[in-house]
Amino acid sequence: MSHHIIWTTIGAILTLSIYSFLYKDNPFYKFAEHLVVGISAGYYLVIYTFNFIVPNVARPVFGLELGGEAIRFAGLEWWMALIPGLLGLLLYARFFPKFAWVGRWPLGIYVGGYAGLGLSPVMQARVLQQMEANALPLTSLTNILLVVGLLGTLIYFFFSMRHKGVLGVFARIGIVFLMVGFGASFGYTVMSRISLLIGRVDFLLSDWLHLAGG
């Protein structure tokens, strides 16, 4: 029996085990659930180790290849690999209650660094470009609806005043547009879930059982 048939059959059995939950919770579902949790943890550990830790920290700092070599000390690149590596290790300080506070430093650098990195691009992409694109001439029904919906939604999320009077009217318009939007999004999501189901059924019928053309 070829490897392909074996692995396809294992995949099919696990697929059916997960789907058995639709009838009721059972040991097959539990087994498949725990298996996927365990395998994903192990897989991600390997991927992150060999694609992240080894090339970015271990190799530059220790000059180690898979076979192992003597430790080398080198210039700027060495320090640029060592310092972030040490900061990452400091996160494990939380296992030692007396030194747990040390772990807040790398966490702060991580959160602050990513916040700063994203500030300008996000301001551009989500605010400025959108403002430019939505300052539309009110010459068509589509444009009017878009501008009214945009204003209503912005006002709904205005927290500094109670939603009364004209503000309340715009907020109610906003929530109507929001709900219409949610409905469209829900429809899209139903489509997405059905697509995943179709994908699995295709796998079972075409790749495993060869009953339908693949």
Partner 1 sequence: MSWYDKLLQVDRRWIFLAIGVAVVVPFFVPLGLPVIVTEPVQGLYDAVESIPPNDKPLLLSIDYAPATLPELEPMALAILRHAFRNDVNVIVMTLHPAGYGLAERAVRGVAEEMEQVEGEDYVFMGFTPGVSAPILGLGVAIRNVFPEDAYGTPLDEIPMMEGIRNYDDIPLAITLAGWSAAEAWIYFAREPYGQQVGAGVTAVMATDYYPYLDAGQLQGLLGGMRGAAEYEVLIEREAKGVKGMDSQSVIHLLIIVLIVLGNVAYFAQRSARRKMALEDA
Partner 2 sequence: MDRFPRILLIVLTLALPALPLFAQVPPPDIEIAAVDSVAPAPVTGLRAHDYVDNSDAGDKIELTWELSADDAAGASDVVRYEVFRSEIEDAPGDSVGFALAGFERFLDTTAEAGTPYYYTVLVSDGTLLSSPTTTGPVRGVSNFFQPSRTSVLVLALVFFVLVLIFTRLAERGADLFVRRIPGLNAIEEAVGRATEMGRPVLYVPGIGEIDNIMTIASLNILSHVAKITARYETPLIVPTARAVVMSAAEEVVKQAHAEVGQPDTYNPDNIRYLSDAQFAFAGAVNGIMLREKPAANLYLGAFWAESLLLAETGFEAGAIQVAGTAMVSQLPFFVTACDYTLLGEELYAASAYLSKEPKLLGGLKGSDWMKILIIALMALGIVLNRLNASWFVEFFHTQ
Question: Which positions touch partner 2 (CB under 8 A)?
Answer: 25, 30, 33, 36-37, 40-41, 44, 91, 94, 103, 107, 110-111, 114-115, 119-120, 123-124, 127-129, 131-132, 134-139, 147, 150-151, 154-155, 157-163, 165-167, 178, 181-183, 185-186, 188-189, 192-193
**Closest to partner 2 by CB, 25 or 65:** 25
**Closest to partner 1 by CB, 48 or 96:** 48
Whole-angstrom CA distances from 75 to 15, 72, 78, 109 are 52, 10, 6, 23
Q: Select from partner 2, partner 1, none the partner in contact with residue 178, using the beta carbon and a kind-dependent cut-off of 5 to 8 Å.
A: partner 2
Q: Select from partner 2, partner 1, none the partner in contact with residue 49, using the beta carbon and a kind-dependent cut-off of 5 to 8 Å.
A: none
CA-angle at 55, arms to 49 and 58, nearest 5°:
75
Burial of residue 171 (number of CB atoms within 10 Å: 0-12, 13-18, 19+): buried
Rule CB under 8 A: which residues touch partner 1? 22-23, 43-44, 47-48, 51-52, 56, 114, 117-118, 120-122, 124-125, 129-130, 132-134, 181, 184-185, 188-192, 194-202, 205-206, 211-213
Helix axes 165-202, 141-156, angle to 10 degrees: 100
Least distance to partner 2, CB of residue 48, Å: 9
Please state the length of the chain: 214
DSSP-derived secondary structure for 45-77: HHHHIIIIIIIIIIHHHH---TT-------SHH
